[in-house]
Amino acid sequence: MTNIILASTSASRKKILKKLALPFTCIAPTCDETPLAQESAIDLVLRLSQIKAQSIAKKYPDAIVIGSDQVGLLDSKIIGKPYTREKAIAQLLASSGKTVNFYTGLSVIHLASQQNITTYEPFNVTFRQLSLAEITAYVDKDQPFQCAGSFKCDELGITLFEKLDGNDLNALVGLPLIQLNQIMIRMGFNPLLIK
């Protein structure tokens, strides 16, 4: 049995990974998620995904460790998790009627076979024109305080959008499952064949 570890305690990522019907455990990674000076959104998610996976892989070298991170880019500025009601409302007001570019990083590490693949998945979200009343009602109902961009697209957040543009909706939720499956196959761990 191949040991698989998701370097995250995110309920959304856990739910997505369950779709592969593989046994796995979740372990919280230890890392500073502060962006570096002049760091692009893509460089940030690649670096954080890898750091998260590496922090767990060091302790479990025989395991396949999966790390992921996500940020949005609005008007050339990185947006992340709001953490508070006020910041969630402000993020959604700023996003109203605009397209936000999301980048979800993915890092898969298997130290025992010296394999380490890190990539990212883009996904663009176009918000419809939203009123303050709609935004406030949404935030109070879905409480998306731990979600980059201040929405849960797999829940009531879907009502905020005019258009979604990307290859894998799972990436927008927090884990690029299509790419993860392809990487695992390349590494010799085909999810359909793992027993």
Within the chain, residue ranges assigned H as helices are 11-17, 41-57, 85-95, 132-142, 169-173, 177-186
Closest Cα partner for 82 from 133, 138, 20, 123? 138
43 is catalytic: no
Phi and psi at residue 69, to the nearest 5°: -150, 155
C-beta atoms surrounding 37 within 10 Å:
4
Instruction: Tell me how far apart the alpha carbons of residues 129 and 110 are, in angstroms, rounded to a whole number.
Output: 45
- Among candidate residues 32, 69, 142, 165, the one labeled active-site is 69
Closest Cα partner for 13 from 24, 187, 3, 2? 24
Transcribe 11-42 into DSSP letters: HHHHHHHGGG----EE-------PPPTT--HH
Residue positions annotated with a catalytic role: 69
